[in-house]
Structure 1
């Protein structure tokens, strides 16, 4: 079994359909589970040809969180394989209005699906309109092993090793701002830091299950720092634009075994033996990990609003 991951560059509807129609047609002819994730306009064009044979998913519902998308698609492909079926996915995110860091994380996802889904027998085609910003188009070229040309997938000479591309997505972190609250962590009893974060979060209306998820993620990160890092272990908390940031740092130089970055791949996939940071990424809106000679920092971002 092997994953097929194709980028579809296009300028107009005709170019899009020239690549999408045969891709989806092939899946239906093979009795595969066929899904299409694209904008309302192009969904309408696909419906005219395929009707209800294809399952249509709005991009906002599908692309809600990078780590969760990987987990969901992996589960779909593995479940289909158990029933003797394949999954074929046409997937086009809405790139408009994304912050720069969001664009980077979704492009990283395009690279990592080549590893996370490598053992599946699925097929994915990702359309990219020619008007998209240059970083997005460059990212597409570097993250897809195949490019669709004249309706056919062809080898992509610009494709990069996913580990190389993922490392390119992690520039140095700026320091925490001067107004950040700081608390030393010395004990596995984390009641005080959890209480501090709860009070701080409530100021900005962050509560309920999202606050609970943040506290679970913090507990995992802080416990690991206390168990495996080098003191001092510090917690810093601050607000930034529309999110609450919590950073745990220590003086230890951690060398993650995962080639593609710690916690980016689901447990059980190549090079990802543990649940810890993967679970943290599933719980938080954004997780940044940096380690070097000056120590290790893990920064958790939780939006004030879902």
Structure 2
């Protein structure tokens, strides 16, 4: 039986909140954890080493909590969804009746970028509905931008201000109606691409990428990016509208690829975050496979079509003076 605010609730009970100090953070998270442990529930926390140590020092039995401090948990939105899903399946197989989770979603305030994580926060309202999950997403009000605050209010059905004080978010949008943040251009895109290919084969796109990337990024990054550009160009050819344009920008330790076609892009708001169907031969799998790679992937819809943007390497704060 589910306990606490999620008692009697079916699916993912998703709530968000803000704190402005370590003390405020602990007031919101410690009772959430302790109540779950007292009820015999699984508790999974995805915080960095500093916050994990804060919690270990305050919890009555930190050994009963599953701490995941590896940044890989939140490597990409699709990988985070898949990793949590495996954890949920494991705990349910062990007989747990509710799973409580909390962690730091990437954003500039904690040293990472927020692009794509707005889709994640919206998507988990749907993709985890088969599990008795209570997710508490806490954001540091001293570091988050107004755009992140806006997304939190629109992606969390419940907002919490104190351990026992929550309300319905008046601005919540169901996933089909959720309005994504417009992705900002990469600084490299301000200059001309090193390569522009129009209606060329995936093999030609791969060769061009290898010629450019082999001088700038490591083999692991290049292998992932080559896989990504191949899937993106095949996906555009099979499901988009011509012409299909591949552009590649690069500088030291950084490569940016865009694959653009004139179609509207996928209608499914979950495209790329979860497999579209159980049949790998049907539409939707290409974008999901790209999202499984360790690549910064952005889906961009615009008036002139649909773009898949792939990025690896060290971000640059402004356009380089020379490629």
Instruction: State TM-score, norm by structure 2.
Output: 0.79
* 1:98-141 Cα distance to aligned partner (Å, 9 max, x none): 46xx2232333222211221221111112222312332333322
2:44 to 14, 32, 35: 35
* Aligned CA distance change for structure 1 residues 98 and 232 (closer, same or farther; 3 Å): same
Change (3 A) 1:9 1:261: same
Map of 1:178 onto structure 2? 192
Instruction: Give 5+ residue unaligned stretches, structure 1.
Output: none
Distance 1:90 1:226 in 2: 40
Q: CA deviation at 1:277?
A: 0.5
Q: Is the 8 A contact 1:59 1:92 kept in 2?
A: no
Corresponding residue of 2:16: 7
1:222 pairs with 233, 251, 254, which one?
A: 233
TM-superposition CA deviations, 1:16-44 (whole Å, max 9, x none): 23221221122212322212233444423
* Residue 131 of structure 1 pairs with residue 142 of structure 2: yes
Preserved contact between residue 76 and residue 87 of structure 1 (Cα < 8 Å): no
In the alignment, structure 2 segments of 5+ residues that lack a partner are 1-9, 316-323
How many positions carry a matched residue from both structures?
295
1:155 counterpart = 2:168 = yes
* 1:91–1:126 contact (8 Å) kept in structure 2: yes
Structure 2 CA distance for aligned equivalents of residues 255 and 105 of structure 1: 16
| Partner SS state of residue 306, structure 2 | strand
Query: 2:214 aligns to what?
Result: 202
Q: Work out whether residues 253 and 291 of structure 1, in 8 Å CA contact, stay in contact via their aligned partners in 2.
A: no
1:24–1:263 Cα change, 3 Å: same
Residue 266 (structure 1) shift? 4.1
- 1:246-276, Cα deviation, whole Å (9 max, x unpaired): 22223x3235230x2532334459xx97322
Contact 2:299 2:306 in 1 (8 A): yes
Distance of 1:224 and 1:61 partners within structure 2: 27
1:197 Cα deviation from its structure 2 partner: 0.8
Secondary structure (helix, strand or coil) at the match of 2:232 reads helix
Q: Tell me how far apart the structure 1 counterparts of residues 205 and 65 of structure 2 sit (CA, whole Å).
A: 49
Q: Indicate the SS of the match to 1:104.
A: coil
Q: Which residue of 1 aligns with 2:129?
A: 118
- The offset of 1:293, in angstroms, is 5.4
Would the aligned equivalents of 1:71 and 1:266 in 2 still touch at CA under 8 Å?
no
Is contact 1:247–1:299 with CA below 8 Å preserved after alignment?
A: yes
Q: Does the CA-based 8 Å contact 2:216-2:253 persist in structure 1?
A: no
Change beyond 3 A, Cα 1:89–1:241: farther
SS in 2 for 1:115: helix
Aligned alpha-carbon RMSD (Å)? 2.9
CA contact (8 A) 2:265 2:305 kept: no
Q: Is the 8 A contact 2:76 2:291 kept in 1?
A: no
Kept in 2, the 8 Å contact 1:38–1:93? The answer is: no
CA contact (8 A) 2:154 2:173 kept: yes
8 Å CA contact retained: 2:216, 2:251: no
Name whichever of 197-206 and 290-299 sits farther off.
290-299
Residues 232, 118 of structure 1: alpha-carbon distance in 2 compared, 3 angstrom cutoff: same
Give, in whole Å, the separation in 1 of the partners of 2:285 and 2:131. Answer: 20
- In structure 1, how many angstroms separate the alpha carbons of the residues matched to 2:185 and 2:104? 30
State the partner residue of 1:66: 77
Which residue of 231, 235, 251 corresponds with 2:242? Answer: 231
2: CA distance between counterparts of 1:10 and 1:295? 40
